[in-house]
Amino acid sequence: MFRRKRQLDDFGAEIEAHLKLEIERLREQGLSYEEARATAHRAFGNVTRARERFYESGRWLWWDHFWQDVRYAWRMLRKSPGFTVPAALCLALGVGVNASVFALLDFTMLRPLPVPQSYRMTILSRAGNPEFSYPDYLAYRDRSQAFTALAASLPTESSIDANDQSHLVSAEAVSANYFETMGVSAFIGRWFANENEPVAVLSYSAWRNFFNGDPRILGGSVRSESQSYTVIGVAPPAFTGINAPIQTAIWIPLHIWANQYPEARAHLLNRIHPWPRVMVFGRLVDHVVPSEAAANLNAIDGQLRRETPADSDAAAEPLTLEIVHGTPSPFTRSSAVPLDILFFLVAGGRSSDRLRQCGKSAARSRHSAPA
């Protein structure tokens, strides 16, 4: 900064020297001093503008503007703190609320799954409900030709026992082809390929937090809820499951998970009265769009309804398929409209109302502030 100021002073001195030489040359031609000075300045142009252009040619002009703004803000704060402080607080409140609401909307409705080619990842639903019986999932998986893979997932609360402590975590009981469908590779170890194998895959954060990132955990035993599993792999750091911002800590085979609940074991393969219900994810075949895949699934669904008549009107609703964005959970689907309304209220008209109210409050504070 100081060097540039010296350069600006040197540039001004060069301009003055140039003008003096030109004035002397014109006076030698017979012009008076006033005429020579006016002619020299007309020939050179606007001296002030030339100095400004030289000053603005510096690479750090934004730094000067920044400090000018800081000095101006500081002067205004010292001059009328009763106005500046409420105005700054109102702006901070508005920015914070907008950022928080958008972050919530991004997590729950907008963000794609952190998997390769996420634009091909779809979720199945019926009348807005993304939960299906496990037998229906098996039929869709085995009969459909529109997907490279079709997987089932049941997000649930679970526990992990480590270092003589039990930790409450989020888990996913999944089909054997879950990781193939997601298209992610294990960080260490491997994924399981059999739903009847008592094995588990840990998330990267669970591996680091509960087992200190020890690779010797592979082949070891970990207890989750009432069952023990052999750890065979660790997920990559970027993949935290389908329930963001909640992070899945452990993935276990769906059939093995069901063994600890008599009702789940009895009804998992029951199409008429199923429990639990699973979410169905599919990775589309290249050049197949969701509408085409949905038509294929609805044809299969029609066959299933003829084989096993629907026990409710909702079961006769057509299937829909869409690209996964945000958190694909039943809670998210039911809260989609309130979230949209909240976002538009915060980002739209309510923001201007809030700013007007803040402005009035700040004005009252300014008038009431001591001189």
Check whether 258 has a pLDDT greater than 90: yes
Q: Give pLDDT, residue 351.
A: 45
> What Cα–Cα distance (Å) separates residue 306 from each residue in 273, 303, 310?
17, 5, 8
Amino acid, res. 6: R
Higher pLDDT, 310 or 175: 175
Check whether 12 has a pLDDT greater than 70: yes
Averaged pLDDT, 34-56: 80
Q: Give pLDDT, residue 333.
A: 52
d(CA 227, CA 257): 8
Check whether 202 has a pLDDT greater than 90: yes
Per-chain mean pLDDT for the chain: 83
> Residue 266 — very low, low, confident or very high, per pLDDT cuts 50/70/90?
very high
> Residue 68 — very low, low, confident or very high, per pLDDT cuts 50/70/90?
confident
Least confident of 48-57, 224-233, 247-256, 292-301: 48-57
Task: Give the tens place of pLDDT for each residue, 272-291.
Answer: 888 999 999 999 999 999 99
Q: Give pLDDT, residue 330.
A: 55
> Residue 249 — very low, low, confident or very high, per pLDDT cuts 50/70/90?
very high
Sole residue written with tokens 């429990």: 275
Residue pair 325/125 in contact by the 8 Å Cβ criterion: no
Averaged pLDDT, 176-201: 94
> Residue ranges of the domains in the chain?
2-57, 59-111+330-371, 118-324
Higher pLDDT, 176 or 84: 176
Q: Give pLDDT, residue 29.
A: 86
Averaged pLDDT, 305-315: 71
Residue pair 278/131 in contact by the 8 Å Cβ criterion: yes
Higher pLDDT, 106 or 89: 89
Check whether 332 has a pLDDT greater than 70: no
Check whether 108 has a pLDDT greater than 70: no
Higher pLDDT, 346 or 59: 346
Structure tokens at 41: 């300045």
